[in-house]
Chain A
C-alpha cells in the first residue's frame, strides 16, 4: 500500500499535520465550556422568531446582498472569461479571488463606509475572479466540432451564440446557482464587519447571551438555503435581480473625501508619507515582515495543515452517513440533514460560535473548518458511492467500507480535498479577525490602529500565500492525475 502515490501523499500530509499540532495552540480556555455549549443548544431547540423585527430585515438584506453581488460578479466574470486566455487577465482574476470577501469588505469600509456598495463589491469582486475561471473552463470544454462545420464567414458573435453557449448553458447555470448558495453564506458573514446582514444580528444576539434569538437566526438560514430549489426559479430570477438592489438598505452616504484620502494618503506606506523616502521604507517593511507577516504566515500555515487533515478525516467518517450502502432510509435522511447543516453553516459562523463557547485558541477554528469542509466533501463522496454497484456477495459493514468503497472513491476524495486546500487557507487567514493569530488577526489589528498601509501589505501577503497554495494544490492534483469539478 505504501507504494501507492496517493497513500504516500496522504501520509506525508498527515505527518505534517501531526508536527503542526506540536506547535499549535489547541486548548479550551473558557471557564465553563460545556454549560455554554448546552445553553447554546438549548437556544437552538427553543428558537425565538419574534424577539425583534430586526431578524426578518437581516434575512431580507442577506438575500439582497447575495443576489446583487453574485449577479454583478457573474456578469463581470463572464466578460472576463471571454478574454481569459490573456495572461494579465488570468493573473488579475487569480489575485482578486485570492482575497477573501471579508477582507474586501474591510477595505471598502474604510472609504465607502457603511454604504451598500461596500457589501455588494465585497461579494462581486472575488466572485468575478472565480466566475471568470470556472466559466472559461466550461467554455473551453465545449465540443469544437460544430464550430468547424460552420459556414466560413460566420460572425464571431453568431458563432459563439450558436456553438458555445448552448453546449455550456446547463453547466454554467448549475454552477451559477451553486455560487448563489455560496453568495448567501458570504452575504451572511459580511454582517460580522457591520453590514446589515445575518452575521450582525447573530453577533448582537450572542453578545447579549440571547441564544434563542441566535438559534432562530440559524434555523431560518438553513431553511433559506435548503429551500433554494423552491424559490430560485429561472422565471423568477429577473424579478429577484432587478428587485434586489432596492432591498439593500440605505446605509450611510459615501464621503468622497474619504475615498480620496484613502488612496492618496492612508495606504501610502508611512515612511513615504512622512517624507523619509525609500531609505525609511526598508526598516518599515522589515519590521512589518518580522513582527506581523511572518508570525501570521506561520500560524496560517500550521492551522491550515491541521484543518486540512481534520477535514479529510471528517469527510471519510461522514460519507457513509448518506451512502446507500449503509443503513436504512431513516438513518440516511438523518445523515443528509446533518451534512446539510454542516455545509450550510459558514465556517466563520461556526468558528465564531465555538470561540464564544470554548474561548480563544486554534481549536474552534480547526473544528469549524473541518466540520464545514468535511460536510461538503462527505456529501459529494457519499453521493458518488451511491452510484457504485457492488457485487451481490460484497462484504458488509466495516469491510465494505474499507475494502469496497474507500479504495474506489479515494482518488476523487483527494481531488476534492486538494481543491479545497486553498479555500481552507483563505478561510484560515480570515478567521484571524476572530482573535486567532493568523494573518487576518494582524490585518484586523492594523485596521483598528488606522494603519491601512500595513493592512494593505498584509492583505497582499495573504493573497500571494493563497495563490502559492493554489498552485501547489494544482501541481499535486496533476501529479497524482486527480480531476474534479469546482466547489466553493
Chain B
C-alpha cells in the first residue's frame, strides 16, 4: 500500500478558519500521534483525513457513533456491514450466524468484555462504550486507523493494552491523543497541532515529553 499525500487541508466554522491550509505526508507503516491543546483542531483534522481516505480507514470518532439500542455484538458487527449482502445483514439483526459470533466474541475477549456481548450499548459505562467502538474499528480491519482520543475513558492498564492492540492491528494509524506519554510510547511519529497549523513534526524516538509540553 502506498502512503498518503495530503495538501491544502482546510476547514472553517462559520467563516472562521480552524484548520490549515496545511499539508501532511503519511508513509505506509507510520503510526502518527496528533497532539495539541483541546480546540487546536485535532478532531477536525481527523475528520478531514477521513473524508479523503474514507474507503481504506477504520474510524473511531470521539462521539463513538454507537447505536444505543443495539447490542454490543451488533455494534461491532457494523464494522463489516459493507462486506455482506443485505439479506445476510438482515438475518444477522434478528439472529447472528455462529461464525460471526465467534469472531466478535474473541475480539471482545481481547478487550476484556465478553460477558457483555448481548447487552444494549445504552446500558454500558463510558469506558465500555469506548471499547465497543474500538472493537468495531478492529473488526472492520481496514489498512489505516483514524482514531480520535480512543482511550480517553479507559484506566491506565486498560489504556495500555488497548493501545497495543491498535498498534498491532493496523499497519498505518493516525491517532489524536492528549496523553503525551501514550503518544511517545505507541507511535513512531508525533505531529503537534497549534491554532490549526502543524507546529511540530518529528519522529517519536527523537522527542521527550518536555519537547511536546511547549504545545500546551
Query: What is A's interface to B at a CB cutoff of 8 Å?
Result: 143, 145-155, 157-159, 161-163, 166-167, 169-170
Contacts and interface: CB of A to CB of B under 8 A. Distances in A.
B176 to A, nearest CB: 15
A139 to B, nearest CB: 14
Contact of A161 (B85, B93, B136): B93
Interface string B12-34: 00000000000000000000000
B69 A162 contact: no
A151 B79 contact: yes
Given A161-B90, A166-B69, A167-B69, 14 more contacts: A145-B64, A145-B65, A145-B66, A146-B67, A149-B78, A150-B78, A151-B78, A151-B79, A151-B140, A151-B142, A152-B82, A154-B82, A155-B86, A162-B74
A151 B64 contact: no
Contact of B54 (A152, A163, A166): A152
A166 B73 CA distance: 14
A145 B81 contact: no
Given A154-B82, A166-B70, A149 B65 contact: yes
Contacts of A158: 81, 84, 86, 89-90
Contacts, number: 75
Rank and list the top 8 A-B pairs by shortest CB-CB distance, nearest first: A149-B65, A166-B69, A153-B82, A145-B65, A158-B89, A151-B82, A154-B81, A154-B82
Contacts of B133: 149
A148 B61 contact: yes
B139 to A, nearest CB: 10
A42 B137 CA distance: 70
B20 to A, nearest CB: 21
Contact of A159 (B63, B79, B81, B85): B81
Interface of B: 54-55, 59, 61, 63-70, 74, 78-86, 89-90, 93, 133, 136, 140, 142
A146 B70 CA distance: 11
B89 to A, nearest CB: 4
A157 B86 contact: yes
A155 B92 CA distance: 15
B80 A151 contact: yes
B175 to A, nearest CB: 16
Contacts of B55: 152-153
Contacts of A150: 78, 81-82
Nearest to B61: A149
A62 B19 CA distance: 64
A167 B67 contact: yes
A143 B65 CA distance: 8
Q: Which of A155, A157, A161, A166 has the most CB of B within 10 A?
A: A166
A152 B59 CA distance: 11
Nearest to A169: B69
A152 B82 CA distance: 7
Interface hub of A146, A147, A163 (most chain B Cβ within 10 A) = A146
B140 A145 contact: no
A162 B74 CA distance: 8
Contacts of B66: 145-146
A153 B61 CA distance: 18
Contacts of A146: 65-67, 78
B86 A162 contact: no
Contacts of A157: 86, 89-90
23 contacts: A143-B67, A149-B61, A149-B65, A149-B78, A150-B82, A151-B80, A151-B82, A151-B83, A152-B54, A152-B55, A152-B82, A153-B55, A154-B81, A154-B82, A155-B89, A157-B86, A158-B81, A158-B84, A158-B86, A159-B81, A162-B74, A167-B67, A167-B69
B82 A162 contact: no
A162 B89 contact: yes
B89 A145 contact: no
A162 B65 contact: no
B63 A145 contact: yes
B76 to A, nearest CB: 12
B5 to A, nearest CB: 21
A162 B78 contact: yes
B143 to A, nearest CB: 13
Most B CB within 10 A of own CB, among A148, A157, A158: A158
Contacts of A166: 67-70, 74
Contacts of B63: 145
Contacts of B61: 145, 148-149
A163 B81 CA distance: 11
Given A151-B81, A153-B55, A159-B81, A170 B86 contact: no
